[in-house]
Amino acid sequence: MRSVWLWIAVAVCSLCSATAIVRSGSSDEIGKPRDTEIPDNKLMASKVSMVPLTLIHGADSKGAVCLDGTLAGYHLDRGFGSGANSWLIHLEGGGWCNNRSSCVFRKTTRRGSSKFMEKALNFTGILSNKPQENPDFFNWNRIKLRYCDGASFSGDSQDEDSQIFYRGKRIWQAAMEEFMSLGMQKAEQALLSGCSAGGLASILHLDDFRERLPLSTKVKCLSDAGMFLDAVDVSGGHSLRNMFQGVVTVQNLQKDLSSACTNHLDPTSCFFPQNLVSDIKTPMFLLNAAYDSWQVRQSLAPSPADPRGVWKHCKSDISRCNSSQLQFLQEFRKQMVLALNSFSASPQNGLFINSCFTHCQSEIQDTWFAQDSPKLNGKRAAESVGDWYFDRSNNVKDIDCPYPCDKTCHHLIFQ
């Protein structure tokens, strides 16, 4: 029997990630939970390389600080060999704060203060330095920019009363200046990537990223799990729109959003990627699950929209959804596919939209590039992204058939 992988995840205050992995050789054989920082992967070498945190010293003089006023930070693993002049900038995700109280709380976490950030991280998936785990980008300069502003690197204001610094835009600018000074100004190739709230940030900042680099640099973007939809929830409301409206309002983002969008749509609509991706000039690849687990749990069926808990089991394990719930999720998938029509029409863009119940597939080794990673048209996400970036294929635009047709998925299970 093909090895079955189950991901058991626990929801936290920010965008959720799996907290344990259970591997079984068959459906009734359960293994031991493992730390998700080091996925149980046959291809992973036994020696783990930890990449230290670097604070952007002097950034405070530019106002480029986290919510609590501490310095922003990043992790850099230097490139080597043929990748020494290529750069991959990965923007960390982790939700948003949409009112003063949630932003005050966020100051006490790694999502709002570098005081609480890990001092070193294990780079896996698209950040790995091993060719057997990351075949196309393993020897590039790989950077993970930490996320501590609560608005996808977009704010530029301050709450004097609560001493909250909404400085995501300044963090972005200071980080880019830092990376340019470290050698990125001579980059031959560059890829801006990000997961979840970082995937949204990569969309928001892509054209600016392109403008900062020489015209001779090959520049593209990978947005992973960043295609957040302005969808109707199970109560008929708009839970994610309400959240995004709070983010835009509390951080005063109106002035920082795309004018091409705000010229004809309200500011909250211009924080939704579906209203942005078609106007971006730089080539972009969207890697997304059609049944994105975070969106199902927090946008479609959050607890306030489901007070009786009718969706409790379905949003924790897609295999436990009843027929009417599955139909609702199929409509969500249709909305996503429709939202991508114009984006997909551009020959420079790429897609990998699989029918999995998951969230963020580029950072996790098992969903990025492992022996049994999810596939579309016989290719894993890493292979499709590489073919698109290096122009090995002319048309990398893959959209999966509806659930439950794809048997290669690694569906998340939440407890």
Supply the DSSP string of 37-83, one letter for each residue: TS---TT--SSPPEEEEEE-TTGGGGT-B-TTSPBPEEEEE---GGG
Backbone phi, then psi, for 234, in 5-degree steps?
-70, -15
| Residue among 173, 415, 195 nearest 312 (CA) | 415
CA 387-393-396 angle, to 5 degrees, is 75
Bridge partners of 285, per DSSP, are 222, 350
Backbone phi, then psi, for 3, in 5-degree steps?
-60, 135
Of 152, 196, 293, 384, which is the active-site residue?
196
Q: Is the dihedral of CA 354, 357, 360, 362 positive or negative?
A: negative
| Residues in contact with 357: Cβ distance below 8 Å, sequence separation at least 6, in sequence order | 289, 291, 293, 296, 318, 403, 409, 411, 412
Between the two ends of the chain, the Cα-to-Cα distance in Å is: 26
Q: How far apart are CA 140 and CA 134, in angstroms?
A: 10
CA 412-413-415 angle, to 5 degrees, is 140
Query: Are the C-beta atoms of 398 and 409 separated by less than 8 Å?
Result: no
Of 359, 362, 366, 411, which is the active-site residue?
359
Q: Within a 10 A sphere around the Cβ of 287, how many other Cβ atoms?
A: 28
Q: What is the DSSP letter of 142?
A: E
Residue 359 appears among annotated catalytic residues: yes
Phi-psi region of 391 (alpha: psi -120 to 50; beta: other; left: phi over 0): left
Buried b (16+ CB within 10 A) or exposed e, 52-68: ebeebeebbeebbbbbb
Q: How far apart are CA 263 and CA 275, in angstroms?
A: 12
Bridge partners of 351, per DSSP, are 286, 397
- Report residue 168 as tokens: 């995501």
Of 77, 207, 292, 366, which is the active-site residue?
292
Residues with a catalytic annotation lie at 196, 292, 359
